[in-house]
Amino acid sequence: MKHPWVQGSFPVGAPLTCPLGTASEGGLCREDAVSVRWFSPVEMARRLGISAKTLRVYEAVGLVTPARTQKGWRVYGPSEQARLHQILALKRLGLSLARIGALLTGRLADLDAVLDVQEAVLRARKRDAEHALKILAAARLKLARDGALSADDLLQLTRETTMTRELKSDEDWREAFQPIIENQYSPEELDRLGRRKMDALTRLGHDAESFTRSWEALIEELRALRAADDLVSPRACEFVRRWNAMTTAFTGGDPDITRKTRAIWEQAASDPQIAPRLPIKPEDFVFVQRIANGMRERGELLSS
């Protein structure tokens, strides 16, 4: 879009100013309007701490559309700057450009919604940082006392201070998933699901703790299979059979529960506060499905 108030050429890296009118007037110049600054791609990139090439990538994938001068130069005004903040804030949370695009056309299209999410995530990171500082303090005390840290101490220190904390405890999972689950299920349905899960655990010979450990082991095996890009080995096939048995323990093969469970995970994966902490990522589900599809093609797995 070319704006008549941004005219002629300008020095590379120089900010532009222009008095803008109200939105209803299409942004035409008015003498009594406030002065708005416009930036070239080089200056905009410098101020944001990114490259001009990155701006062109965001433009190419449809995340931001810079304004144009009458001579066709790209310029970034207030709305483009707000959009770039949304993009960079969500990217900082670990989301892909494709997922950011989907979010910005949905519930996070408004800048304040992104700021709200960003604030919540930063508060969560503050809690994580405070937790990590306690771990560091305890490690330093032990190091001063014993002169060394054990292998287990070092592993805990690495997990707690250098890695994004995954959802581990029951409290973590409840905090993250309960609001999403309650959007999908009524209290009566949740009560029935709880009883069904306990019955399934009994049939599988699990209690709640051993079931959780089994899932953790299954996730570790999934990561190993993905690292090896192993889609066809006997180990991969056996993994899918155990994966299906574990998921069926919860869904009971009920297509409605399966659909709602999938919707819960999809919503969690699109939430910037939850997605970085999920032990299973969307690409993990895709990988499992690829193994299963291959097994069905070979007649090693019944179609569902």
- The model's pLDDT over 64-96, given as tens digits with 9 standing for 90+, comes to 999 999 889 999 999 999 899 888 888 776 667
In tens, the pLDDT along 171-212 reads 677 778 888 888 888 888 888 888 887 787 777 677 777 777
Using the CB atoms, write b or e for 153-173: b if 16+ within 10 Å.
beeebeebbeeebebeeeeee
CB 300 within 8 A of CB 237: yes
Question: Is a pLDDT exceeding 90 seen at residue 103?
Answer: no
Calculate the average pLDDT of the chain: 77
Of 282 and 153, which is predicted with more confidence?
Answer: 282
Question: Is a pLDDT exceeding 50 seen at residue 299?
Answer: yes
Determine the average pLDDT of the residues in 49-69: 91
Q: How far is CA 226 from CA 220, 233, 236, 238, in A?
A: 10, 12, 10, 15
Q: What is the pTM of this model?
A: 0.47
Reported as a pLDDT band with limits 50, 70 and 90, residue 245 is confident
Geometric angle at alpha carbon 54, from 49 and 58, rounded to 5° = 120
| pLDDT score of 17 | 43
Reported as a pLDDT band with limits 50, 70 and 90, residue 276 is confident
Determine the average pLDDT of the residues in 252-259: 84
Reported as a pLDDT band with limits 50, 70 and 90, residue 23 is very low
| pLDDT score of 5 | 41
| pLDDT score of 163 | 53
Reported as a pLDDT band with limits 50, 70 and 90, residue 132 is confident
Of 290 and 164, which is predicted with more confidence?
Answer: 290
